[in-house]
């Protein structure tokens, strides 16, 4: 590691974290104002139809709330001359629901107006506190860019790629139409031959494509040929009426191409073993799991840092584990019987520096020496030679190693530094070893651990497309981003933003994205906890021993009737709901997920301020995934919703099943099977005119529960709260064959 005053945090922020806009010029406290709209400033918003309703929210100091504030939209419709439209005040009964308490020193006002357009509207906002004062422009005070409102195209514009890319390089690319597996899309494939490697040097080729629609924001792709014969570089292009369908079109076709190419890289016996082992996969293994991280292995400590150290033998480091790994694992399981699974960390090649050339492992298996390219990050000095197991012994090595771990009581692994195989300088080493290592690791994790494995630092093309895309094997946990860096404050919003956007791609692979561990006692602990809860992936922590925020842990987990702690994981993976939002756009990051059946489940939306300053936004209902906003309010209708467990970050994810039905006599039944104890919340729109004693009956396991365990929420008088834990304990209930709690709520409509 560097011995000078090198600061990794400063370097990481300067090189790897996208630059954000500087803070706007300071404004006097009594003049501060926050203004935002829906459709929002700084973003492009598609709007169906020719009419748009624009709403704005203005926050000002309460001491100035009595002044005659005005808000105007300054806009250009369909490229015409710019003009202003004054926004009128919104009646209090029509204002949006407030999701966060406002400081007592501030007041909030809403304004709105409507206008028509054909193709697009470009707009900004201005405001003033008196008709006789100068207008104040929001761009100047908050740095918010113009907003755009666009009319989505009606269907596919053309089946010819040249209509989308007028200057398409037809000499460099062979274009073919493909059958799209995603409704409402068209699909093309562009292919170009890449010459074979020359000796130990890979071949690269620059081929221009063209400019979609005459302009675009960003584009980058890299293809490398390590092989001994010509290979085709393939670009898939899809046009669709929405972003998700277009992405699905290219990813589904990519899976078909990868499946065809994979048949030649995996032998028949290995392929049959994958199919046979796949049925053993248990996706919930991370619950109640302990991971023994780096530093348990026996290494040689040769070289300037851990990234040059080599691994000597399977047995654990003798000083820290004097009785061996097996004795330690037995001791852990005896002292902590609630721990169901114990995993150990190791690098794909053994340790960061591979193998110790004179160690037991190197003496037992055939090895070779390879050169690796150095990294740009000085905290990750990877350059130089390393010893690794040769191709002929890779499968035997992994089988023996994982058999040893299994015999010691280990039943899961976290395999890190998988990108290392792509840092080898020689094309021959990459060609001969990358696929055998990936195949050996995949099959060995299935054979010995039933796929209880975490794949880390593996977002390289070979792993993404060869190991993680095919569906002929069970899904595995895959790290979705760079590490969690507790000591770098600026890395935390970047970490969540990156994971939310990477999930757009990763959700189409055969993986469960892992947003990495975090600390529950940390300045950003709640920020990270909320992100993990909405991610749909695993939740695991790396706290300092004895320092745990049990309240925060309680917001992510629950206790089942059998005493097992479970996490509440949505059934749909979380991802950004607005893929075109940049890190520097000064907009709230919205991560959406969903839990339950497609038409009766619960949308979940987590909102993160990744900006360096406070933000206010109007969040439309359409931001919630799979939401149906078409319900008309009818006289006499009672609206009901199962909220899941209250006080949990992903409370709806605690629901196994939920069914609402109404009988002929008007009585309503909400039948819920819940994962764990807690406070079950039921929304009833008519609750203010009802009573718990006169209108409700609640049962657990078909038995009425004590009346005092059912109350009206003090936070919201439309919500019934049911204390499942207290009712269960007072009734002396025991779990049946299932580890669930069946709750039935009856009330008269």
pLDDT in tens, 157-213: 678 899 889 889 999 999 999 999 999 999 999 999 999 999 899 988 888 888 887
How many whole angstroms separate alpha carbon 746 and alpha carbon 749? 10
Q: Note the residue count of the chain.
A: 749
Q: Is 493 helix (H, G, I), strand (E, B) or coil?
A: helix
Higher pLDDT, 569 or 262: 569
* Helices 8-16 and 491-506: angle between axes, nearest 10 degrees: 50
Cite the DSSP H helix spans in 202-295.
243-262, 268-277
**Mean pLDDT over residues 237-257, rounded?**
93
Q: Are 581 and 147 in contact (CB under 8 A)?
A: no
Question: Is residue 632 scored above 70 in pLDDT?
Answer: no
Distance of CA 171 to the CA centre of its chain: 40
Where do runs of H (alpha helix) occur along 536-604?
Answer: 550-556
pLDDT at position 261, please? 63
**Rounded CA gap, 598 and 577, in Å?**
17
Structure tokens at 321: 């584990």
Helix (H) or strand (E) holding 414: strand 412-416
Q: Residue 217 — very low, low, confident or very high, per pLDDT cuts 50/70/90? A: low
CA distances 127 to 33, 71, 136, 422, 679, Å, are: 9, 4, 5, 55, 45
d(CA 141, CA 301): 56
Confidence class for position 260, pLDDT limits 50, 70, 90: low
Torsion sign across C-alpha atoms 505, 507, 508, 510: positive
Assign 728 a pLDDT band (cuts: 50, 70, 90): very high
- 96 vs 92, 152, 595, 604, CA distance in Å? 9, 26, 25, 18
User: Which among 283, 265, 88, 257 is positioned nearest to 178, based on CA atoms?
Assistant: 257
Assigned token pair, 440: 């050996």
Distances (CA, A) of 283 to 47, 275, 287, 454: 39, 17, 10, 12
- Mean pLDDT in residue range 123-133: 96
b/e map 99-122, b = 16+ CB within 10 Å = eeeeeeebbebbbbbebebeeebb
Give pLDDT tens digits for 342-396.
999 999 999 999 999 999 999 999 999 999 987 665 567 778 899 999 999 999 9
CA angle in degrees (0–180, nearest 5) for 640-592-648:
60
- pLDDT of res. 377: 59
Taking phi first (over 0 means left), then psi (-120 to 50 degrees means alpha), and beta for anything else, what does residue 636 get?
A: left
Using alpha carbons only, what angle is made at residue 42 by residues 39 and 43, rounded to the nearest 5 degrees?
55
Residue 505's pLDDT band, with cuts at 50, 70 and 90, is very high
Angle among Cα 715, 720, 724 to the nearest 5 degrees reads 110
Structure tokens at 604: 């979940």
Handedness of CA 534, 539, 543, 548 (dihedral sign): positive
Phi, psi angles (nearest 5°) of residue 243: -60, -45
Secondary element (H or E) of residue 176: strand 174-178
| Cβ contacts of 365 within 8 Å, gap of 6 or more | 389, 390, 393, 396, 397
Has residue 267 got a pLDDT over 50? no
Q: What burial class does residue 452 get, using C-beta atoms within 10 Å of its C-beta: 0-12 exposed, 13-18 middle, 19+ buried?
A: buried
Q: What angle do CA 225, 229, 230 make, to 5 degrees?
A: 65
Burial (CB < 10 A; 0-12, 13-18, 19+), residue 422, is middle
Whether pLDDT at 266 is above 60: no
pLDDT (tens digit, 9 = 90+) per residue, 65-81? 999 999 999 999 999 99
Residue 281 has pLDDT above 50, yes or no: no
Mean pLDDT of the chain: 90
Mean pLDDT of 605-632: 88
On whether the CB atoms of residues 413 and 347 are closer than 8 A, the answer is: no
Please state, in angstroms and rounded to a whole number, the distance separating the CA atoms of residues 328 and 316: 10
pLDDT higher than threshold 60 for residue 278? no
Residue 685 has pLDDT above 50, yes or no: yes
CATH of domain 32-150: 2.60.40.10
Residue 75 φ then ψ, to 5°: -145, 160
Residue whose entry in the numeric block shows the structure tokens 């829906």:
38
Contact 667, 708 (CB under 8 A): no
Contact 159, 206 (CB under 8 A): no
When pLDDT is cut at 50, 70 and 90, the band that residue 152 belongs to is confident
Q: Which two tokens stand for residue 422?
A: 């792509």
Q: Does residue 602 register a pLDDT over 60?
A: yes
Q: Which two tokens stand for residue 737?
A: 């064959």
Is 80 exceeded by the pLDDT of residue 226?
yes
Q: Is the pLDDT of residue 331 over 90?
A: yes
Domain ranges in the chain are 32-150, 161-271, 287-479, 482-503+517-630, 631-748
- Whose CA is closest to 540, among 262, 291, 194? 291
Which of 531, 521, 549 has the alpha carbon at shortest distance from 493? 531
d(CA 182, CA 290): 41
Closest CA to 667 of 555, 749, 558: 749
- Rounded CA-CA distance 33/126 in Å is 11
* pLDDT beyond 80 at 259: no
Could you give the CA distance from residue 235 to residue 384 in angstroms, rounded to a whole number? 34
The pTM (predicted TM-score) of the whole model is 0.91
pLDDT tens across 98-122, in order? 887 788 899 999 999 999 999 999 9
Pairing of strands 147-150, 44-46: parallel
236 CB-contact burial (10 Å; exposed 0-12 / middle 13-18 / buried 19+): middle
Residue 216's pLDDT is: 63
Cα 19 to Cα 582: distance, rounded to the nearest angstrom = 10
DSSP state of 198: B
Over range 290-309, report the average pLDDT: 92
Q: What is the mean pLDDT of residues 710-735?
A: 96
More confident residue, 227 or 560: 560
From residue 643, give the alpha-carbon distance in Å to each of 535, 537, 573, 653.
19, 21, 19, 9
Q: Residue 174: enclosing H or E segment and its boundaries?
A: strand 174-178
Written as one string, the DSSP assignment of 460-490 is SHHIIIIISS-SSS--EEEE-SS---TT-TT
Average pLDDT over residues 664-676: 94
What is the pLDDT at residue 222? 67
Inter-helix orientation angle 525-535/491-506, to 10°:
0
- Phi/psi of residue 735, each to 5°? -70, 145
Q: What does the pLDDT read at residue 737?
A: 77
601 C-beta neighbours (distance < 10 Å), count: 20
Name residues whose C-beta falls within 8 Å of residue 157's C-beta, 6 or more positions apart in sequence: 163, 164, 239
Residues with Cβ < 8 Å from 17, sequence gap 6 or more? Answer: 490, 491, 494
Convert 610-620 to b/e letters by CB count within 10 Å (16 or more is b).
bbeeeebbebe
Q: Which two tokens stand for residue 580?
A: 């075109």
């Amino acid at each position: 590691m560097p011995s000078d005053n090198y600061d990794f945090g400063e370097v990481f922020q300067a090189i790897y974290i996208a630059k954000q806009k500087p803070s706007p010029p300071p404004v006097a406290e009594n003049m501060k104002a926050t203004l935002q709209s829906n459709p929002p400033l700084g973003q492009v918003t598609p709007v169906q139809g020719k009419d748009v309703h624009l709403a704005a929210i203005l926050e000002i100091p309460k001491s100035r709330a009595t002044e005659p504030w005005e808000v105007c939209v300054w806009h250009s419709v369909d490229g015409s001359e710019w003009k202003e439209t004054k926004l009128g005040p919104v009646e209090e009964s029509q204002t949006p629901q407030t999701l966060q308490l406002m400081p007592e020193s501030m007041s909030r006002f809403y304004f709105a107006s409507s206008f028509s357009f054909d193709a697009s509207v470009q707009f900004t906002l201005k405001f003033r506190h008196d008709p006789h004062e100068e207008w104040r422009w929001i761009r100047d005070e908050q740095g918010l860019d113009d907003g755009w409102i666009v009319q989505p195209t009606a269907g596919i514009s053309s089946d010819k790629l040249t209509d989308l890319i007028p200057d398409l390089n037809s000499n460099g690319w062979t274009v073919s139409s493909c059958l799209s597996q995603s409704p409402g899309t068209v699909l093309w494939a562009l292919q170009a031959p890449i010459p074979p490697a020359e000796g130990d040097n890979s071949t690269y080729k620059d081929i221009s494509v063209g400019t979609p629609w005459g302009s675009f924001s960003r584009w980058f792709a890299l293809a490398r040929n390590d092989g001994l014969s010509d290979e085709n570089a393939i670009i898939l292009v899809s046009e669709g009426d929405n972003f998700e369908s277009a992405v699905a079109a290219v990813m589904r076709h990519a899976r078909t191409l990868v499946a065809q190419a994979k048949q030649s890289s995996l032998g028949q016996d290995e392929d049959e073993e994958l199919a046979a082992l796949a049925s053993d996969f248990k996706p919930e293994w991370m619950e109640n799991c302990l991971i023994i991280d780096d530093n348990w292995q026996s290494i040689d400590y040769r070289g300037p840092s851990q990234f040059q150290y080599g691994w000597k033998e399977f047995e654990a480091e003798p000083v820290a584990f004097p009785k061996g790994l097996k004795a330690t694992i037995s001791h852990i399981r005896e002292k902590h019987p609630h721990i169901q699974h114990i995993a150990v960390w190791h690098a794909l090649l053994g340790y960061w520096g591979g193998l110790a050339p004179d160690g037991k492992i190197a003496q037992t298996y055939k090895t070779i020496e390879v050169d690796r390219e150095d990294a740009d990050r000085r905290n990750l000095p990877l350059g130089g030679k390393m010893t690794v197991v040769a191709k002929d012994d890779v499968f035997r090595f992994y089988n023996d190693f994982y058999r040893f771990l299994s015999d010691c009581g280990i039943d899961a692994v976290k395999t890190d530094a998988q990108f290392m195989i792509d840092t080898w300088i020689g094309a021959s080493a990459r060609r001969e070893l990358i696929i055998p290592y990936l195949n050996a690791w995949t099959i060995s994790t299935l054979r010995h651990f039933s796929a209880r494995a975490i794949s880390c630092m593996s977002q390289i093309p070979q792993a993404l497309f060869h190991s993680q895309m095919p569906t002929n094997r069970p899904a595995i946990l895959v790290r979705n981003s760079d590490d969690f860096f507790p000591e770098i404050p600026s890395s935390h919003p970047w970490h969540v933003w990156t994971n939310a956007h990477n999930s757009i791609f990763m959700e189409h692979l055969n993986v469960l994205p892992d947003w990495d561990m975090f600390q529950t006692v940390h300045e950003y602990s709640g920020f990270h906890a909320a992100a993990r809860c909405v991610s749909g992936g695993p939740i695991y922590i790396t706290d300092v021993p004895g320092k745990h925020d049990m309240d925060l842990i309680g917001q992510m987990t629950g206790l089942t009737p059998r005493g097992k702690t479970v996490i509440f994981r949505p059934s749909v993976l979380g991802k950004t709901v607005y893929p075109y939002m940049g890190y520097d756009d000064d907009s709230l990051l919205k991560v959406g997920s969903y839990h339950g059946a497609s038409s009766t489940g619960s949308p979940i939306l987590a909102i993160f301020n990744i900006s360096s300053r406070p933000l206010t936004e109007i969040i439309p209902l359409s931001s919630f995934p799979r939401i149906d906003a078409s319900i008309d309010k009818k006289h006499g209708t009672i609206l009901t919703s199962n909220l899941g467990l209250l006080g949990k970050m992903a409370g709806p994810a605690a629901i196994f099943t939920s069914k609402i039905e109404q009988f002929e006599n008007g009585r309503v039944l909400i039948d819920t099977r819940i994962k764990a104890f807690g406070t079950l919340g039921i929304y009833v729109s008519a609750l203010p005119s009802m009573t718990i004693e006169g209108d409700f009956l609640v049962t657990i396991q078909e038995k009425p529960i004590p009346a005092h365990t059912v109350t009206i929420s003090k936070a919201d008088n439309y919500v019934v709260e049911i204390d499942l834990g207290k009712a269960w304990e007072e009734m002396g209930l025991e779990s049946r064959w299932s580890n669930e709690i069946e709750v039935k709520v009856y009330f008269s409509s």
